[in-house]
Amino acid sequence: MLADVGPPIVPVWSTTDLDEALLWYEALEGTGVEGIVAKPLRGAYKAGRVRAKIRHADTVDAAVVGFTDTARRPKALAVRLPDGHVALSQRLTTALSTVVAPRLVTHAGRVFPKAGDS
């Protein structure tokens, strides 16, 4: 019925089969698909609520070179990636902000050399 409407209304795949969802999760990673969204079968779709986003993630070591807001309550971290590029993290959860803050307070104002500098 809405096939010709186009963005922002687009068809999406759906399944109730866990094995099929896991297959999509693994097989589609290389195509740019970030992951899958899960919600209760009988639940209505409400943006940002009652659903889980299961995303692929890569872990990489990076130096924290800054933060947004205050050292006592950081909202995001600026990190220098191994290639030298500086990127801003996603917004920190309250729990993670609480863990990170004491380390930022301890090192606030300290200047660290760039990788390769002496």
Q: Could you say which DSSP state residue 55 is in?
A: E
- Note the pLDDT tens digit of each residue in 6-54: 777 777 788 999 999 999 999 998 888 888 888 888 877 777 666 788 8
51 φψ region: left (φ > 0), alpha (ψ -120 to 50), beta (else): beta
pTM of the predicted model as reported, rounded to 2 decimal places:
0.54
Confirm whether 113 is domain-assigned. no
The structure tokens listed for 40 are 């209760």
Confirm whether 67 is domain-assigned. yes
Confirm whether 88 is domain-assigned. yes
Q: In terms of domains, do 78 and 46 share one?
A: no
Q: In terms of domains, do 50 and 93 share one?
A: no
- Note the pLDDT tens digit of each residue in 46-80: 776 667 888 888 888 998 999 999 889 999 999 99
Measured between alpha carbons, how far is 104 from 106 in angstroms, rounded to an integer? 5
Q: In terms of domains, do 3 and 48 share one?
A: yes
Q: In terms of domains, do 67 and 53 share one?
A: no
Q: In terms of domains, do 50 and 76 share one?
A: no
Q: In terms of domains, do 1 and 49 share one?
A: yes
Confirm whether 112 is domain-assigned. no
Overall domain count for the chain:
2
Domain that holds residue 20: 1-57
**Residue recorded with tokens 């990170």:** 100
